[in-house]
Amino acid sequence: MKVFLSADIEGTTGITHWDETTKSKQDYEYFAQQMTREVEAACRGALKAGAEEIWVKDAHESGRNINPAKLPENVKLIRGWSGHPFSMVQELDESFDALMYTGYHSCASSNFNPLAHTMNSSTIDYIKLNGTICSEFLLHSYIAAYLGIPVAFLSGDKGLCEEVNNLNENIVTVAVNEGIGDSTVSIHPELATKLIKEGVEKALKGDLNKCKIELPDEFELEIRYTAHTMAFRNSFYPGAVQTSPKTIVIKTIDYFDVLRAVLFLT
């Protein structure tokens, strides 16, 4: 079995403030360690389920957060950013048996995590796909659907876990925190790693075919910016139409067009 894990930080247990996500800040180091521990737990669970090859994408900020020495020997770690439109699941292809996530968070404009955002938190108010507010989970899980790969597991905040299970109830989720306004209620870090390890093992031993996500036949991508100047500039992207002072829309039948637009416009 060959599995892919995409790891973010804003959905790790305990995390509450942007300073805890930023390399240059004093509070960062502990949460980078916890991000690593949760990734390690997911990898250990995958090994118990029979995974022979595990690829991990460090998908937060610089892509240089996870301590490689803490991971099992059969893990390949992707650090940094190549610039490919697959972004947070860079190197994912049809050879993988399952896609998993740790440390993921709710979408921009939601009320389920103080750190809720979608892609660029400083310039994007929200991203919608076919009229639905889009999380980074959904954006990248449609890549799995594009490739025919099941989405087996996710850990993160409670709001995102509910979104995931509304999309497909067979995906195993572990909620490690819950956002309430500008605060969080989190489970103990050791309990988080225990539940993640057990959850991944359960997910990969289950019927992965039931974890596939259906890809829509066509797409309407709507991006709302925090500044009207960004919408005006990006309205000159091929196929983009400015529909309000801060909003552009792109319509396509090819999901790769959506990913390319997100790469260049967010």
Residues 106 and 235 occupy one common structural domain = no
Residues 195 and 237 occupy one common structural domain = no
Question: Is residue 107 a part of any domain in this protein?
Answer: yes
117 is catalytic: yes
Give pLDDT tens digits along the chain (266 positions).
999 999 999 999 999 999 999 999 999 999 999 999 999 999 999 999 999 999 999 999 999 999 999 999 999 999 999 999 999 999 999 999 999 999 999 999 999 999 999 999 899 999 999 999 999 999 999 999 999 999 999 999 999 999 999 999 999 999 999 999 999 999 999 999 999 999 999 999 999 999 999 999 999 999 999 999 999 999 999 999 999 999 999 999 999 999 999 999 99
Q: Residue 106 has what pLDDT?
A: 97
Q: Which of 189, 211, 233 is the last residue of a domain?
A: 211
Cβ atoms of 23 and 33 closer than 8 Å: no
Residues in the chain: 266
Q: Residue 41 has what pLDDT?
A: 98
Q: Which of 188, 211, 234 is the last residue of a domain?
A: 211
* Predicted structure pTM score: 0.97
10 is in an annotated binding site: yes
- The domain of 231 spans 219-265
Question: Is residue 169 a part of any domain in this protein?
Answer: yes
Residues 250 and 176 occupy one common structural domain = no
Tally the C-alpha atoms within 13 A of residue 252's C-alpha that lie toward its C-beta: 18
Residues 175 and 47 occupy one common structural domain = yes
Residues 146 and 231 occupy one common structural domain = no
Question: Is residue 130 a part of any domain in this protein?
Answer: no
Q: Residue 95 has what pLDDT?
A: 98
CATH classification of the domain holding 56: 3.40.50.10780
Residues 11 and 61 occupy one common structural domain = yes
218 is in an annotated binding site: no
User: What is the DSSP annotation of the chain?
Assistant: -EEEEEE-STTSTT--SGGGG-TTSTTHHHHHHHHHHHHHHHHHHHHHTT-SEEEEEE-STTS--S-GGGS-TTEEEE-S----TTGGGTT--TT-SEEEEEEE-PPTT-SS-TT--SS-TTTEEEEEETTEE--HHHHHHHHHHHHT--EEEEEEEHHHHHHHHHH-TTSEEEEEEEEETTEEEE--HHHHHHHHHHHHHHHHHS-GGGG--PPPSSEEEEEEESSHHHHHHHTTSTT-EEEETTEEEEEES-HHHHHHHHHHH-
Q: Residue 10 has what pLDDT?
A: 98
228 is in an annotated binding site: no
Catalytic residue chosen out of the listed positions 17, 84, 117, 228: 117
Residues 161 and 246 occupy one common structural domain = no
Question: Is residue 146 a part of any domain in this protein?
Answer: yes
136 is in an annotated binding site: yes
